[in-house]
């Protein structure tokens, strides 16, 4: 087990693509870090630089007390688990798991005890004699995990290990990986484009965008205080509603449509107002709002998803599309008009130009 320290890491591929643009992260011993972001944002490149599978263009990577920039992958004391499992098809499960240890000259009895222990933890003891082709996707993924575990490395590096599994199995394996990581206490870096997987697995998330860190933090902190509009719209599903506002004298109004006015003491030229779908509430007819934001919503669609419904509509008079989460099976006719509200502590403000979060609470919002 070890700390991992990345200091201003960059990667420029031959041909000039700058895939990683100066990333710094301090990872604690035993911590589970998830790198999350859209496809192409540099997650795999960053992970592969830690693993030693890609050269680091500039910056330093430390695993434990060692700077590993020039250390061969095999000597970095890490174990990597890939999406495609990368098992040897002609070897039995046992030999797939034992292979790395044999190569290192580990004693036979030691190999046997490590493989059996890993197989027990992963519940694949009954398959040790099978070839990978005789296993299901979930079982193969367990073997790939087993191969990492037997090495007892300083760190696990995972690159989208669950992407090839069906939805149900993915949820099950996600929970298993989380439990396993906690019981082994091995420092882990896990790459995914799936924000829910990231939220549920991570001790801390690293949200990447275009090769740069947008935000690092505990999942709930990132969810509650996204550092930018990018993070606000990437983490959480359905995504946070983002509304462009323009200054009109002393107050702020929707750029499109009418029906929303906010008093704010802000120096910016343009701001973006964010509100999560679960923080927009429908005011029952005949009641008045306790919130600071109230507006009309013209319903355009209702999606029942079981325990709740996603209500889509346009805000104000011809304003932007928003979505809110209503409990149970909401039944609203298309075109009906609802009054919606949100409390000031649930409103997020971002600079309209930079997209960065602003720590200001709106004073008064009138519809």
Ligand X SMILES: Nc1ncnc2c1ncn2[C@@H]1O[C@H](COP(=O)(O)OP(=O)(O)O)[C@@H](O)[C@H]1O
Note the residues at the interface with ligand X (CB under 6 A).
13, 15, 17, 19, 37, 39-45
Question: Considering only CA atoms, which of 293, 295, 276, 287 is closest in space to residue 342?
Answer: 293
CA distance 68 to 183: 27
Q: Which does 19 bind (CB under 5 to 8 A by kind): Mg ion, ligand X, none?
A: ligand X
Residue 83, interface with Mg ion (CB under 5 A)? no
Output 19 or 324, the one with its CB closest to ligand X. 19
Question: Considering only CA atoms, which of 351, 289, 338, 299 is closest in space to residue 321?
Answer: 299
**Listed ranges 40-48, 131-139, 211-219, 254-262: which one lies at the site for Mg ion (CB under 5 A):** 40-48
Backbone phi, psi, residue 96, to 5° = -60, -40
Strands 321-327 and 293-304 come out as unpaired
Output 44 or 341, the one with its CB closest to Mg ion. 44
Output 18 or 112, the one with its CB closest to ligand X. 18
Residue 45, interface with Mg ion (CB under 5 A)? no
**Quick one: tokens of 285?**
């007819």
Q: How far is the CB of 288 from Mg ion (least distance, A)?
A: 50
Q: How far is the CB of 13 from ligand X (least distance, A)?
A: 3
Q: CB under 8 Å to 106, separation ≥6 — which residues?
A: 114
Residue 314, interface with Mg ion (CB under 5 A)? no
Output 40 or 304, the one with its CB closest to Mg ion. 40
Instruction: Please give the residues from 247 up to 266 whose contact with Mg ion meets the rule CB under 5 A.
Output: none
Output 44 or 241, the one with its CB closest to Mg ion. 44
Output 43 or 281, the one with its CB closest to ligand X. 43
Q: CB under 8 Å to 175, separation ≥6 — which residues?
A: none
Q: Which residue has the tokens 């031959």?
A: 14
- Whether 67 contacts 14, CB under 8 Å: no
Q: Which does 249 bind (CB under 5 to 8 A by kind): ligand X, Mg ion, none?
A: none
Residue 44, interface with Mg ion (CB under 5 A)? yes
Q: How far is the CB of 194 from Mg ion (least distance, A)?
A: 12
CA distance 208 to 54: 18
CA distance 103 to 114: 15
Binding region for Mg ion (CB under 5 A)? 44
């Amino acid at each position: 087990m070890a700390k991992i320290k990345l200091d201003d890491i960059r990667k420029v591929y031959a041909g000039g693509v700058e895939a990683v643009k100066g990333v710094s992260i301090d990872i604690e011993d035993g911590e589970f870090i998830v790198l999350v972001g859209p496809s192409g944002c540099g997650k795999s490149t960053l992970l592969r630089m830690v693993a030693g599978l890609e050269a680091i263009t500039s910056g330093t990577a430390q695993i434990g007390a060692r700077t590993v920039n020039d250390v061969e992958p095999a000597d970095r004391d890490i174990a990597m688990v890939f999406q495609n499992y990368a098992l040897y098809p002609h070897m039995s499960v046992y030999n797939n798991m034992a292979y790395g240890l044999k190569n290192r000259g580990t004693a036979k009895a030691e190999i046997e005890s490590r493989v059996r222990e890993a197989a027990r933890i992963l519940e694949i003891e009954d398959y040790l004699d099978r070839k990978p082709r005789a296993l299901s996707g979930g079982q193969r993924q367990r073997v790939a995990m087993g191969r990492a575990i037997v090495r007892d490395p300083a760190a696990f590096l995972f690159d989208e290990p669950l992407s090839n599994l069906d939805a149900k199995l993915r949820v099950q394996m996600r929970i298993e990986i989380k439990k396993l990581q906690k019981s082994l206490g091995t420092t882990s870096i896990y790459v995914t484009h799936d924000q829910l997987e990231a939220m549920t697995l991570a001790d801390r998330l690293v949200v990447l965008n275009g090769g740069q860190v947008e935000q690092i933090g505990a999942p709930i902190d990132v969810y509650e205080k996204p550092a930018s509009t990018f993070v606000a719209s990437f983490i959480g599903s359905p995504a946070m509603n983002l509304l462009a506002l323009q200054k009109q004298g002393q107050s702020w109004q929707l750029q499109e449509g009418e029906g929303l006015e906010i008093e704010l003491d802000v120096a910016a030229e343009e701001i973006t107002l964010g509100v999560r779908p679960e923080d927009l509430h429908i005011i029952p007819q005949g009641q008045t709002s306790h919130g600071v934001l109230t507006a009309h919503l013209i319903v355009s669609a209702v999606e029942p998803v079981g325990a709740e419904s996603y209500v889509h509509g346009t805000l104000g008079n011809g304003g932007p599309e928003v979505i809110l989460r209503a409990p149970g099976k909401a039944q609203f006719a298309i075109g009906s008009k609802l009054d919606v509200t949100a409390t000031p502590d649930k409103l997020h403000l971002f600079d309209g130009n930079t997209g960065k979060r602003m720590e200001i609470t709106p004073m008064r919002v009138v519809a």
